[in-house]
Structure 1
Amino acid sequence: METTQRDTRTIGVDTKNLIAQSLLQQSYSGHLRHGALIKAAQQFGVCKKTVHRIWAKAKEQMERGVPVNVRDRVRGYNHKDKMQLDDNKVRQLSMLERSTIRKMARKLEISKSTLGRMKKEGLIRPHTSAVKPILTDLNKLARLRWSLSQIQPIRIDGKLKYNTMHNVVHIDEKWFYMTKSSDRYYLLPDEDEPYRSCIFPFTTMEPAKRNSKNRAKGTMETKPIQSVNKAITRDCIIQKIIPAIKSKWPPNVCKEILIQQDNAKPHISPTDSEFQAIANKDGFKFQIICQPPNVLDLGFFTAIQSLQDDKIAKGVDDLVNNVYSSFEELSPHTLNNVFLSLQGCLLEIMKVHGGNGYKLPHMKKARLSRLDSLPITLEVEEELVKEALEYLQLPENNIGEAYDISRISEALGF
């Protein structure tokens, strides 16, 4: 074997065992041949003392009757005086005093780097706390009944399923901004900081009233609508949303379609006369339903905005085009994931009797999708549904007939 040149003083475990095996081959009854240590040191490029130490370890193992296996002595360096996290001191800190590493380190009287290492070791964990709206008792009961109303009244092996929601069209408003109010960039040392300005458009097309260096008088330009009211919402539903649904709806499926909205003031009533006049034409049956307060929005707009934020917009027209292109780029699988997340939240709402003190469920949808086992709807345990129905039957929880749950109640014998 040729002599190997080593770049480090640390000898690997494999090399140590090769040295031990080479010495064993040159030994007889536990004794080495003359010059074996020097020969091994030259062969493996180590000093004679290292070879002697490895041979002593091998002889010790042979005398104990165990197989020769030279292990690495390097175990890592441990500080004997390593600073320990004082759990009681941490618990005495308010949430505001724990909001940043800098604040928390100052209050604990330790360095930021030490606290950062403790975070990496899992001694503390970061958590983002979102502000949740306060719910009244009536709000909670309405949310609970709403969650139950979305379940199919069919039991299979002690489980039920949510409705597919394929015929539910969610409508909502969302502001898309040309830029964020605050953002971080990574620049080269010689680059200037970008100048940033904001507009917040809800737009219409109007002719320019006067000449300017950018366009002539009378040129159609995009202008923001100052406020969205019922008339604008009604016009959007009747002139845009319903025609778009009709043009895209598959021909051989049920044409009973629910348009779901929240209770914002600009939204029209389900009994709006102009809406009712066109709701049952061309074989379609449209119905507006209002969700209870503070029910989770789909979040589909957020997915669109994450793509739109990466596109540069120099004007309102660019912004509108960016939103359209972001919508086209978004995968349909994302929408399916959003509906599954909605069903998961409805499931958690039932567990907390309509409240919002729950963690957002994580179903590992990406992994299930790769395994081709992502469900269309989520299952609900029968016992959970029964417990929710029993809770609603208590005298203090009777809020009338809001959100029909008669089908699921009858299916489970209530």
Structure 2
Amino acid sequence: MDRGLLVDVNSAKYKCGRKKIELNVSTLKDVALSSRTTIADVATHFGVSKSKVQSMKKEGAIKRVSNTIKPFLMEKNKNDRLKWCLSMLDPLSLSHDPQFKGLFDHVTIDEKWWFITRKTLRYYTAPGEVEPTRTIKNKNYIPKIQILTAVGRPRFDSEGHCIFDGKIGCWAFVKYEPAKRSSVNRSAGTIEMKPIESITKDVMQSFLIEKVLPAIRAKWPREDVGKPIYIQQDNAKPHVPPNDRLFSEAAKQDGFDIRIICQPANSPDLNILDLGFFNSLQSIQHKRSTKTTEELVAIVEKAFADYSVCQLNRIFLTLHGCMKEVMRIGGGNGYDIPHI
């Protein structure tokens, strides 16, 4: 009794609380893609709660991806894409460490439709806030404007200061006409902005000669005047061919040497604007509400002017990564945009 007795105080229950559920995440591969588009679908497959799936998502056990349809490529398309990427290699670097050209002599142009609003908007509301009612005569005919955009690669000095922002310009395909009759919004004779319904080759030619070329001549770094400048475009039918006589004559003015080159067919991933610039600019435009096409054009132009030069330069770096992936898979487009 003086020394006492040895007593084992350890509990036979070595664990308390809810038992951890072990899931075989690899079984998700056997489920059709159309049957795992929501968290509820995944929770039903594993037999767990939606909060459990959310936790798995945060832990990285599963991830949510967006899958976009890509253009179908023929063998000729793949060969052309491969040749294009090879032509973008710097000849001086081929003997030791192959690298892509800086593309400082390229100007990429393309046109895009910009809509006043989207069919569906998602936003957060405060308790008791009344949801606004948005109306339009026909949801399939939302007012829109097509805008031509031209950008080059920004340049920086040795201290990192921007000496050329690369933003050549953006121009809406519109015309200005006087109103034929009075209405509650304006009187007869008021100058109105109206979209050009049909973008033809003549329209593109006039915009190139009267707007794009003067903008390049006004903004291009003076030290590179006389060196070749390549305007890269896709293969849309309204685009001006490289051997167009009127364009060639206008492109030689003031000592400039400006040429048109066409990127491979079905290759939006080899175009700076389609690769990331348009999406980035559109995300800014969607945060501003517009009611008229005039307001829409003004907002797009302001978003273009305010766009970060560093972000624009990063898209060029992403393009280099995409061209590397294109070469790696033999000219195809079945790759993920590389993270840089």
TM more than 0.5: yes
Q: TM-score, normalised by structure 2?
A: 0.79
Change (3 A) 1:80 1:304: closer
The answer to whether the 8 A contact 1:97-1:103 is kept is yes
CA-atom RMSD, angstroms?
A: 1.9
Aligned to 2:335: 358
1:277 to 249, 266, 287: 249
Aligned to 2:288: 311
Q: The residue matched to 2:111 in structure 1 has which SS?
A: coil
Aligned to 1:232: 203
Aligned to 1:290: 262
Paired with 1:238 and 1:184, the residues of 2 have a C-alpha distance of: 41
What letter corresponds to residue 63 of structure 2 in structure 1?
R
Paired with 1:127 and 1:267, the residues of 2 have a C-alpha distance of: 35
Change (3 A) 1:154 1:78: farther
What letter corresponds to residue 201 of structure 1 in structure 2?
I
2:112 to 174, 177, 186: 174
Paired with 2:26 and 2:279, the residues of 1 have a C-alpha distance of: 40
1:200 to 144, 152, 156: 144
Higher helix share: 1
Aligned to 2:297: 320
1:244 to 195, 202, 215: 215
Alignment pair present for 1:345 and 2:283: no
The answer to whether the 8 A contact 1:101-1:115 is kept is yes
Paired with 1:178 and 1:78, the residues of 2 have a C-alpha distance of: 58
Q: Mean Cα displacement is larger for which, 271-280 or 156-165? A: 156-165
Q: CA deviation at 1:158?
A: 2.5
Alignment pair present for 1:118 and 2:56: yes
The answer to whether the 8 A contact 1:97-1:107 is kept is no
Deviation by residue 1:321-342 (Cα, 9 ceiling, x = unmatched): 1111111111211221111111
The answer to whether the 8 A contact 1:279-1:285 is kept is yes
Alignment pair present for 1:105 and 2:77: no
Change (3 A) 1:110 1:219: same
Q: TM-score, normalised by structure 1?
A: 0.66
2:189 to 215, 218, 227: 218
Give the unaligned 5+ runs of structure 2.
Answer: 1-14, 137-141, 147-173
Paired with 2:255 and 2:30, the residues of 1 have a C-alpha distance of: 65
Change (3 A) 1:123 1:358: same
Aligned to 2:9: none
Q: The residue matched to 1:173 in structure 2 has which SS?
A: strand
Q: The residue matched to 1:140 in structure 2 has which SS?
A: helix
Deviation by residue 1:51-75 (Cα, 9 ceiling, x = unmatched): xxxxxxxxxxxxxxxxxxxxxxxxx
Q: The residue matched to 2:295 in structure 1 has which SS?
A: helix
Deviation by residue 1:215-239 (Cα, 9 ceiling, x = unmatched): 0111111112222111111111011
The answer to whether the 8 A contact 2:105-2:229 is kept is yes
Q: CA deviation at 1:156?
A: 7.5
Aligned to 1:302: 279
Higher strand share: 2
1:1-400 → structure 2 map (5 Å cutoff): 81-87=19-25, 89-155=27-93, 158-196=96-134, 197=136, 198-202=142-146, 203-255=174-226, 256-295=228-267, 296=269, 297-298=271-272, 299-363=276-340
% of aligned pairs identical?
40
The answer to whether the 8 A contact 2:72-2:266 is kept is no
Q: The residue matched to 1:269 in structure 2 has which SS?
A: coil
What letter corresponds to residue 237 of structure 1 in structure 2?
L
Q: CA deviation at 1:178?
A: 1.7
Q: Mean Cα displacement is larger for which, 130-139 or 303-312? A: 303-312
Aligned to 1:380: none
Deviation by residue 1:117-170 (Cα, 9 ceiling, x = unmatched): 222233222222222221111111100000010111113783022111111111
What letter corresponds to residue 242 of structure 1 in structure 2?
L
Aligned to 1:376: none
The answer to whether the 8 A contact 2:25-2:61 is kept is no
Q: CA deviation at 1:318?
A: 1.0
Aligned to 1:34: none
Q: The residue matched to 1:227 in structure 2 has which SS?
A: coil
Q: Quick check: which has more Rg, 1 or 2?
A: 1
Aligned to 2:150: none
Change (3 A) 1:144 1:106: same
What letter corresponds to residue 113 of structure 1 in structure 2?
S
Paired with 2:56 and 2:315, the residues of 1 have a C-alpha distance of: 35
Paired with 1:290 and 1:116, the residues of 2 have a C-alpha distance of: 46
Change (3 A) 1:225 1:356: same
Aligned to 1:5: none
**Number of residues of Structure 1 aligned to a counterpart in Structure 2:** 287
Give the unaligned 5+ runs of structure 1.
Answer: 1-76, 364-414
What letter corresponds to residue 335 of structure 2 in structure 1?
Y
